[in-house]
């Protein structure tokens, strides 16, 4: 087992960001993503397990009620996104902190601002030129003007972060680097030798866990590995299907086999069978 936990597991994600004792880690991370008027002064967890009908989802979703330095209150829903239908999941999950604001009796329907922040350990299927490491989504009209300014989605595609240690420029860069590389570290890199990251490393160290926590983490880690394998298999099968469809169309148009091979990566036998 590695020295530090995998933060993409449900257990690891909750250990770093979902415990009362680590609210300072969460606050520091979130403030790198939020605008100046919503910098967090204080926060508390509304309900770490706010999906009673979906027990398998509970550990990876937090509803965080925040008070900004300006005094304004707002909500952050933070989740470790799963690969299948993650956009649908995001929209579904965001309905919980919206509906929970409903008040009995007379109510004018004024809502508290909400940010949904999702950490993705995968690249979702889009054209290569449109891929973005950090995507900020809002509800806009046909002229691309903001229609509603109280609902924000922020998607972080971790595989698209490619900076090396010597290239880290901002505090946010350091957080992403920490999360992306945590399980591979044997020691704390010099660039992360700051109090906030030193606490994060101490929190993430497997040796500091109780035997019960280690068992829970190992189960969580194995579940994560299994889900990743299923997702990778589905991706490979989808890619092969697209390659076969392209090759079939090229062959129908009498394109030479060598060009079909170089365009799709298929073998002679696979092309001959089409």
pLDDT (0 to 100) of residue 53: 54
Give the residue-averaged pLDDT of 118-143: 85
Residues 38-82 pLDDT 10s: 999 999 987 654 444 555 554 567 889 999 999 999 999 888 877
Q: Please indicate, yes or no, if residue 4 is contained in any of the structural domains.
A: no
**Is there a single domain that holds both residue 190 and residue 260?**
no
- Whether 163 and 30 map to the same domain: the answer is yes
Kindly state the DSSP code that residue 53 receives in the 8-state scheme: T
Dist. CA 173–CA 166, nearest whole Å: 11
Does residue 220 share a domain with residue 200?
no
Residue 266 gets the label, from left (phi > 0), alpha (psi -120 to 50) or beta, of beta
Residues 197 and 243 both lie in one domain: no
User: Do residues 216 and 142 share a domain?
Assistant: no
Instruction: Tell me the C-alpha distance between 94 and 38, whole Å.
Output: 19
Mean pLDDT of the chain: 86
Residue 83 or 73, more confident? 73
Q: Is the dihedral of CA 162, 166, 168, 174 positive or negative?
A: positive
**Sequence-distant (≥ 6) Cβ neighbours of residue 134 within 8 angstroms:** 154, 155, 156, 157
Closest Cα to residue 26, out of 45, 50, 47, 54?
45
Residue 140 confidence (pLDDT): 94
Given 154, 186, 208, which residue is the final one in a domain?
208
- Residue 5 in domain: no
- Convert the pLDDT of each residue in 139-181 to its tens digit: 999 999 999 999 999 999 999 999 999 999 999 999 999 999 9
Give residue 76's region: left, alpha or beta (phi > 0; psi -120 to 50).
Answer: beta
Whether residue 240 is predicted with pLDDT greater than 90 in this model: the reply is no
| Total number of domains constituting the chain | 2
Q: What is the mean pLDDT of residues 182-190?
A: 95
If one compares 54 and 190, the residue with the highest pLDDT of the two is 190
Using alpha carbons, select from 53, 34, 54 the residue that is nearest to residue 43.
Answer: 34
Same domain, 42 and 178: yes
Same domain, 83 and 65: yes
Residue 35 lies in a domain: yes
Q: 160 and 219 share a domain? A: no
pLDDT reported for residue 129: 65
Residues 112 and 217 in one domain: no
CA 270/CA 261 separation, integer angstroms: 10
Q: Let me know how many helices (H) and strands (E) the chain has, helices first.
A: 8, 6
Residue 49 Cα to chain centre, angstroms = 18
Regarding whether 95 and 118 lie in a shared domain, the answer is yes
Contact between 140 and 146 (Cβ < 8 Å): yes
Between 86 and 74, whose confidence is greater?
A: 74
Domain holding 221, by residue range, is 210-274
For the chain, give the percent of residues with pLDDT over 90: 51
Q: What is the mean pLDDT of residues 243-262?
A: 82
Q: Which residue has the tokens 């298999």?
A: 233
Q: Is the dihedral of CA 163, 165, 167, 170 positive or negative?
A: positive
- Sign (positive or negative) of CA dihedral 67, 174, 160, 230: negative
């Amino acid at each position: 087992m590695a020295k530090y936990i995998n933060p993409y597991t449900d257990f690891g994600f909750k250990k770093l960001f979902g415990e009362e004792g680590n609210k300072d880690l969460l606050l520091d991370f979130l403030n790198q993503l939020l605008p100046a008027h919503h910098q967090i002064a204080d926060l508390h967890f509304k309900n770490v397990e706010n999906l009673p009908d979906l027990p398998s989802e509970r550990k990876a979703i937090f509803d965080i009620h925040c008070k900004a330095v300006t005094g304004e209150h707002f909500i952050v829903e933070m989740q470790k996104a799963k690969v299948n239908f993650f956009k649908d999941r995001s929209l579904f999950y965001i309905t919980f902190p919206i509906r929970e604001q409903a008040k009995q009796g007379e109510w004018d329907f004024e809502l508290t601002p909400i940010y949904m922040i999702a950490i993705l350990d995968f690249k979702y299927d889009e054209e290569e030129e449109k891929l973005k490491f950090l995507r900020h989504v809002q509800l806009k009209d046909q002229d691309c003007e903001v229609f509603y300014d109280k609902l924000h989605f922020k998607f972080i595609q971790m595989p698209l972060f490619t900076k090396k240690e010597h290239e880290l420029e901002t505090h946010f860069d350091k957080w992403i680097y920490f999360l992306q590389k945590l399980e591979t570290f044997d020691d704390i890199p010099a660039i992360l030798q700051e109090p906030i990251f030193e606490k994060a490393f101490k929190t993430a160290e497997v040796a500091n866990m109780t035997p019960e926590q280690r068992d829970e983490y190992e189960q969580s880690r194995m579940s994560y590995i299994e889900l990743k394998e299923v997702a990778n298999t589905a991706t490979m099968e989808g890619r092969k299907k697209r390659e076969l469809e392209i090759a079939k169309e090229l062959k129908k148009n009498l394109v030479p086999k060598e060009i079909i091979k170089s365009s799709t990566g298929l073998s002679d036998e696979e092309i001959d069978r089409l």
